[in-house]
Amino acid sequence: MKFNLIDKETWSRKPYFDHFLNNVRCTYSMTANIDITVLLIKLKNNNIKLYPVLIYMATKIINRHEEFRTCFDESGNLGYWENMNPCFTVFHKDNETFTNIWTICSDDFRLFYCNYLDDIKKYGNVKNYSAKENKPKNTFPVSCIPWISFTGFNLNIYADGTYLLPIITYGKYFEQDGKILLPVSLQVHHAVCDGYHTSRFFNELQILSQNCDEWLLSN
């Protein structure tokens, strides 16, 4: 859980960071449809749940790129985490509430999947905003709204516009032109992420979905 400090004076992003944090404080979201046709077939054939797979893919991409791990620490220092763990929501149908659960990340999908299933078994039925204690500081939020195929999604966070970490929201997948498409929304802070970075997130998410054989069932 190492937090690497950023020297702003030598940081190539300094003028953009200062502008979008101090002059024109700006966050934005982008939504795109990801083709999960091949992925869904593989999951159904191997009896693997979709939600943890989506969480894993998002975590894998975030841990590839520094801009998605950049934030302020408790002392207000700017830096980036060595790696991030997902904090995801679980819906309770009986009372229409949700619970936040975090799971330790792993580049090995099978290990991550086992960690996810274990956490769901232990904490999935806890009726509370946060179920699992001792949440590490290096977490990012990811959730799913499986009841609607949205074309756009935006969260309004009132924290003086200094929340820099990405927020990922999946929607309900749907069929179009013989393909199964999944709407995905990525919300970021412009101080650390530009359109290039958000586009790269979606492009890499598509590649992971299309090439799932390389990581889903690998030894």
Q: What is the Cα–Cα distance from 120 to 131, expressed in whole angstroms?
A: 10
| Catalytic residue (choose from 19, 65, 92, 190) | 190
**E strands along 6-56, which residues?**
27-35
Q: Note if 190 is an active site residue.
A: yes
The b-or-e profile of 88-98 (16+ CB within 10 A means b, else e) is: bbbeeeeeeee
Q: Tell me how far CA of residue 200 lies from CA of 30, 35, 64, 88, 197, in angstroms.
A: 12, 15, 11, 22, 5
Catalytic positions: 190
